Homo-oligomer: A and B are copies of this chain.
Amino acid sequence: MLIFAPILRIFTQNIFTAIGCSEYHAELAADVLLKSDLRGIDSHGVARLSGYVRLWDKGRINTKPNIQIIHETPTTATVDGDAGLGLVVAPLAMDMAIKKAAEYGSGWVSVRNSNHFGIAGYHALIAVKNHMIGFAMTNASPLVAPTFSNEPLLGTNPMCYAFPAGKYPPVVIDMATSAAANGKLEIAQRSGKQVPEGWIQDAQGQFTTDPHALKSGGSLLPLGSNRDHGSHKGFGLGATVDILSGVLSGANYGPWVPPFVSFLEPPANPPGLGLGHFVGAMRVDGFRPLEEFAADMDNWIERFKSATTVDPDQKVIIPGEPELEAETDRLINGIPLVDSVYNDLNELAARFGVANL
């Protein structure tokens, strides 16, 4: 099923409006989800819309949040998202970071009391549009076990670094800090396929290729998979995201980060509020004239793209390139929706009296 982006966008916006979002917030939240679908990251787009609605049903998302700065210096701030949609709170936090960067060279905002913010790349790319380097990360519900442990204590905690270039598109490194993103596991679960060794472990902490192991006490492995291959580094990166997003803001962290799925209750006695994000922006011309930087970025991209490869037909991929290709294609040809997502969305339509897709 292929749906054109403008149609899916208005549909998504209408659902957000129906659960109480202001027109501006609904537009923003829909834009974040659509960007994910356009960029080919189907797991984080409208496939999650009904999940956000279920969290709202449970009273865990506030669609009329009072988003406030609770602490600040000229270039740093902590924002309380008032249990709002991360899809709204995070772009507004990034706007604050950009404003600070425009005035002082850089701006950094840690966010507490928020919810899942979609793809990190969306937020970092707002900075890039302003000729800045963008940073965005978020913690998430625990699925990943630290090296040596069989207890899931960290989320897949994505981090994104985005850099403007000159004649080429921006370089966007947007990655989960686990060996494999949860979305890839879900695809394997649905198709009944095994996953490569090194993605997950079972409840006893042994490597397994069964994608369902997560549901019986298993956990995802940090980037690096095991100690010999650097999983302590993946753990360290996930910890960095957790500390900057959760501990620094006063959000929850580690095993206390509230789950995205509404059928799981948030952990008792949490040390903080909601989940946390961390976003930042630095003006390129705070370091170097923009044109000089852009010229060297183009040279960097050309050199890496022209690297010799093992398979001559498989060139080096510049981070962000496949997502932009998907975006270009899907803007023209429409966004493919699998049946389950399509039906899910039309159930929402029926419930809220919104026109069917």
Which of A's residues lie within 8 Å of B, judged by CB? Answer: 71-78, 104-106, 108, 110, 133, 145-151, 153, 161, 163, 171, 173, 175-180, 196, 198-199, 204-206, 223-225, 228-230, 232-237, 239-240, 242-244, 247-250, 253-255, 271-272, 282-284, 286-288, 292-293, 296-297, 299-300, 303-304, 307-311, 314-317, 319
- Of chain B, the residue at the smallest CB distance from A77 is B287
Do A151 and B307 have beta carbons less than 8 Å apart? Answer: yes
Residues of B within 8 A of A150 (CB): 308-310
Give CA–CA (A249, B232) in the complex, Å: 30
Do B249 and A196 have beta carbons less than 8 Å apart? Answer: no
Give CA–CA (A176, B71) in the complex, Å: 34
Give CA–CA (A194, B141) in the complex, Å: 39
Do A148 and B314 have beta carbons less than 8 Å apart? Answer: yes
Give CA–CA (A173, B272) in the complex, Å: 23
Give CA–CA (A228, B199) in the complex, Å: 9
Do A288 and B250 have beta carbons less than 8 Å apart? Answer: yes
- Of chain B, the residue at the smallest CB distance from A322 is B232
A-B contact pairs, 11 of them (CB 8 A): A71-B288, A73-B286, A149-B307, A153-B303, A173-B236, A175-B233, A225-B229, A235-B319, A239-B319, A248-B284, A249-B287
Given the known A-B contacts A78-B287, A234-B223, are A242 and B300 also in contact in the complex, defined by CB atoms under 8 Å?
yes
Given the known A-B contacts A75-B104, A316-B148, are A175 and B287 also in contact in the complex, defined by CB atoms under 8 Å?
no
Given the known A-B contacts A205-B310, A316-B146, are A223 and B232 also in contact in the complex, defined by CB atoms under 8 Å?
no
Do B272 and A296 have beta carbons less than 8 Å apart? Answer: yes
Give CA–CA (A311, B149) in the complex, Å: 8
Give CA–CA (A30, B242) in the complex, Å: 34
Given the known A-B contacts A76-B287, A108-B106, A307-B153, are A180 and B247 also in contact in the complex, defined by CB atoms under 8 Å?
no
Given the known A-B contacts A175-B233, A243-B163, A297-B243, are A286 and B76 also in contact in the complex, defined by CB atoms under 8 Å?
yes
Residues of B within 8 A of A288 (CB): 71, 78, 110, 248-250
- Of chain B, the residue at the smallest CB distance from A196 is B228
Residue with the greatest number of chain B CB neighbours at <10 A, chosen from A71, A110, A148: A148
Do B236 and A175 have beta carbons less than 8 Å apart? Answer: yes
Do A75 and B105 have beta carbons less than 8 Å apart? Answer: yes
Residues of B within 8 A of A311 (CB): 148
Residues of B within 8 A of A240 (CB): 161, 173
**Nearest 6 interchain pairs by C-beta:** A73-B105, A76-B286, A205-B310, A173-B236, A76-B105, A75-B105
Give CA–CA (A232, B181) in the complex, Å: 13
Give CA–CA (A149, B308) in the complex, Å: 6
Residues of B within 8 A of A176 (CB): 233
- Of chain B, the residue at the smallest CB distance from A252 is B296
- Of chain B, the residue at the smallest CB distance from A242 is B300
Residues of B within 8 A of A296 (CB): 247, 250, 253, 271-272
- Of chain B, the residue at the smallest CB distance from A295 is B271
Given the known A-B contacts A161-B240, A242-B300, A271-B296, are A224 and B179 also in contact in the complex, defined by CB atoms under 8 Å?
yes
